Amino acid sequence: MTVVTRFAPSPTGELHLGSAYSAWTGWHRAREEAGGRFLLRIEDIDIRRCKREFETAILGDLRWLGFDWDGEVRRQSEHFATYGKALDQLGARSLIYPCFCSRAAIERELAASANAPHGPDGPLYPGTCRHLSAQERRERIAAGQEHCLRFDAGRAARETGPYHFVDEKLGRVEGEPMLMGDFVIARKDTPTSYHLAVTVDDHLQGITLVTRGVDVLPSTHVHGLLQKVLGYETPRYAHHKLLTDDSGRRFAKRDRDMTIRAMREAGLEPKAVIIRALAAAAAAS
Ligand code: GLU
């Protein structure tokens, strides 16, 4: 099977050394194999935080670094209807439900429960709105109450049974369906979420190998579950190390001197930037 990889930045800031390394891993894997394809996807579903200027700057930096991509760039904000179809599929099987809880209401509920289960991003949603009746849901929606949609992870897990994914370093990883609990699958302000859009797009774009930072590893458990319920193939994964500075701190978009633009302005050659990224990756624990 010919390898198809992708780089999927969110245009919320400039490309920095860490994300350039991430792009390199996908690009390199595609280019080292005859016929390999490297695709570019702009993950701009968060219309408030994503900016066209950042997208243009990211594409410019990638070109400057010498990373060429195959086909058109896929921009997620142009595919909300596609994610909506996947939501309908899940809705028809009662795998999603509207959640009317405000952040404050969730916090109150969590404070009142002694042993709230925790996920990688903190305490998990306690499932309050999962117990609402169909009529109550209808009434609250009809009354115009703000809501997001949540994925009923327990129900999905009962339907699918065990699942797994393969990571090139970790080998076979058993899926943990409850790792993120009933996560948000469509936000109040956006008719999708990262988890849904990424799963649908990796499927539609025929991605065979997902190369991305190890910080996203918990999400892969959720994506594996979504792939199973939606009847998609699960790609292979290669979660890579995150680049850190000398004190072990992760590079972030706010570190101006770690942006590719700053390195370009400082007169570095593209090759030198890539060598620097690879050296930082080799040094990262
Ligand atoms: N848009 C995500 C990010 O910038 C990509 C994560 C992924 O590759 O799935 O972190």
CATH homologous superfamily of 4-77+241-284 equals: HUPs (3.40.50.620)
Please report the pLDDT score of residue 172 as a whole number: 98
CA gap 131, 127 in Å, rounded: 7
- Banded pLDDT at 121 (limits 50, 70, 90): confident
Cα(84) to ligand 1 centroid in Å equals: 20
pLDDT, tens digit (0-9, with 9 covering 90-100), for 52-90: 999 999 999 999 999 999 999 999 999 999 999 999 999
Domain spanning 81-164+171-186, CATH architecture = Alpha-Beta Complex (3.90)
Q: Are strands 164-167 and 148-151 parallel, antiparallel or unpaired?
A: unpaired
CA gap 220, 186 in Å, rounded: 18
Cα(230) to ligand 1 centroid in Å equals: 21
Segment among 81-95, 111-125, 244-258 with least mean pLDDT: 244-258
**CB of 8 shorter than 6 A to ligand 1:** yes
CA gap 82, 197 in Å, rounded: 9
pLDDT, tens digit (0-9, with 9 covering 90-100), for 13-30: 999 999 999 999 999 999
**CB of 262 shorter than 6 A to ligand 1:** no
> What integer is the mean pLDDT of 160-181?
97
Other residues' Cβ atoms within 10 Å of the Cβ of residue 78: 10
- Banded pLDDT at 114 (limits 50, 70, 90): confident
pLDDT, tens digit (0-9, with 9 covering 90-100), for 83-108: 999 999 999 999 999 999 999 999 89
Cα(8) to ligand 1 centroid in Å equals: 5
> What integer is the mean pLDDT of 36-53?
96
CA gap 175, 181 in Å, rounded: 13
CA gap 205, 156 in Å, rounded: 24
pLDDT, tens digit (0-9, with 9 covering 90-100), for 212-240: 999 999 999 999 999 999 999 999 999 99
Burial of 206 (0-12, 13-18, 19+ CB in 10 A): middle
> What integer is the mean pLDDT of 201-210?
98
Residue 257 or 269, more confident:
269
Please report the pLDDT score of residue 117 as a whole number: 87
> What integer is the mean pLDDT of 121-137?
94
Please report the pLDDT score of residue 254 as a whole number: 67
**CB of 216 shorter than 6 A to ligand 1:** yes
- The pick from 6, 14, 29, 43 for probing ligand 1's pocket by mutation, whose C-beta has the most ligand atoms within 8 angstroms, reads 43
- Banded pLDDT at 201 (limits 50, 70, 90): very high
Cα(117) to ligand 1 centroid in Å equals: 25
Tokens 């959720």 sit on residue: 222
Please report the pLDDT score of residue 246 as a whole number: 72
CA gap 92, 230 in Å, rounded: 12
Cα(22) to ligand 1 centroid in Å equals: 10
- Cite the residue boundaries of each domain of the chain with CATH code 3.40.50.620: 4-77+241-284
Q: Which atom of ligand 1 is nearest to the CA of 211?
A: 8
- Cite the residue boundaries of each domain of the chain with CATH code 3.90.800.10: 81-164+171-186
- Check: CB of residue 55 under 8 Å from CB of residue 13: no
Q: Which helix (H) or strand (E) holds 230?
A: helix 217-230
Checking if the pLDDT of 207 tops 80, the result is yes
Please report the pLDDT score of residue 14 as a whole number: 94
- What is the value of pTM for the model shown? 0.95
Handedness of CA 216, 222, 227, 228 (dihedral sign): positive
Checking if the pLDDT of 253 tops 80, the result is no
Q: Give the residue among 28, 42, 36, 1 at the shortest CA–CA distance from 238.
A: 28
Q: Give the residue among 100, 40, 80, 22 at the shortest CA–CA distance from 196.
A: 80
